[in-house]
Amino acid sequence: MFLLINKPSGPTSHDIISQLRKITGQKRIGHAGTLDPFAEGLLICALGRESTKQLGNFLKLDKTYLATLKLGATSDTYDRTGNIIFSPPCQGGVRPAKGGRGYRRFTKKIISSTLQKFLGMQLQTPPIFSAKKISGQTAYKLARQGKTVTLKPNQVTIYDIRLKKLEIQNSKLEIEVRCSSGTYIRSLAHDLGQALGCGAYLEELKRLAIGPFSLAEAVSLDQLNMDNWQQFLQPLKPSLPAKTRVLVFGTFDCLHSGHLNFLRQAKKLGDELHVVIARDKNVKNIKQALPTNHELRRLQAVRETNLPTTAMLGQLDFDHRFRVLGKIRPDIIALGYDQKLAVDTLEAKIKHYHLATKIVRLKAYHPEIYKSSLLNKTRPLAKSPIV
């Protein structure tokens, strides 16, 4: 059996377990994912031998967080508990303007555009002040001893990231993030600060959900006592059915109804839709002309449809364009009715990665109207990238 606990800021996750042992009288209690002491939110706790055996399944579930970032400063721990180094020119929500002359105030548009670059699969380096092990030693202990710590980046996925609030005067922003297991929100905060050019660290963190389990269902320790705790037990089932992953490739230039129909058809084939956007360089090499819209604009347009689980730019090296198969490991690859993709090469790569992926051709949608070769004749001049 399990308890969904609303952890407050202050105690460690282990402290919560210790308090639960006193309340319940149970000795074997564990949790499904540590929250830092300053963080708050959902902590799934398992009671008893059989339940604690299932915790590994919870650890694999996606997480959703609400994070508050402080701009204009960095921290060696990537959060408010570390040594803070301020960057005075960036206070008040400004950053150096292009060319180094004057300063440019942040706007929701600038920040939202920067956030979009963090969507999808990526390599993320954990904070050196973390529980990662290096030759059997904990990274944060080595860092506190003043030793050089080098951690290998991990592959993580940001499924969704949104700006919830921007406080210009306080140099703060609030974001909501849905990510894969193993993602460090502290690292995300630090990396976002670097991308914005002003530095940032994580000031507050609240875990809103673990997979389908929500903070709204959780109880605080104050609500529990020796007489009532059993009323809050839940027979959770962490072993969720495997999700069917669908992968599509495309240019998606000047997004139109034909593209939307293609994406909707692909989405119906499974539970997750992953979209790979062709790079400008590769489109030019194949079609002898650049797309009308820059690759970042095309990427943003696809994401704004809210159809894909992830949307990402493809490999710059055309010969490596199918490496994404090894990362996503799709169950289905959906192709347009007349999409010209190197199917022979694709099938060879599917075998190379030991996959059982099916290739499916989707139905045409008014090809007399929404065919790229026809639309190219009426398209406007190429637009500049998003800034």
* Alpha helical stretches, state H, 172-256: 185-196
Rounded Cα–Cα distance for residues 162 and 128 (Å): 26
Question: Pick the catalytic residue: 36, 79, 191, 280?
Answer: 36
Distance between CA atoms of 189 and 295, rounded to whole angstroms?
A: 25
Whether 36 is a known active-site residue: answer yes
d(CA 288, CA 276): 20
What is the DSSP secondary-structure string of 19-65? HHHHHH--S-EEESS---TT-EEEEEEEESHHHHTTHHHHHTS-EEE
Helix, strand, coil percentages for the chain (3-state, nearest 5): 30, 30, 40
Contacts of 5 (CB under 8 A, 6+ apart): 16, 20, 42, 43, 44, 45, 218, 219, 220, 221
Backbone φ and ψ of 259, nearest 5°:
-65, -45
Could you list the active site residues? 36
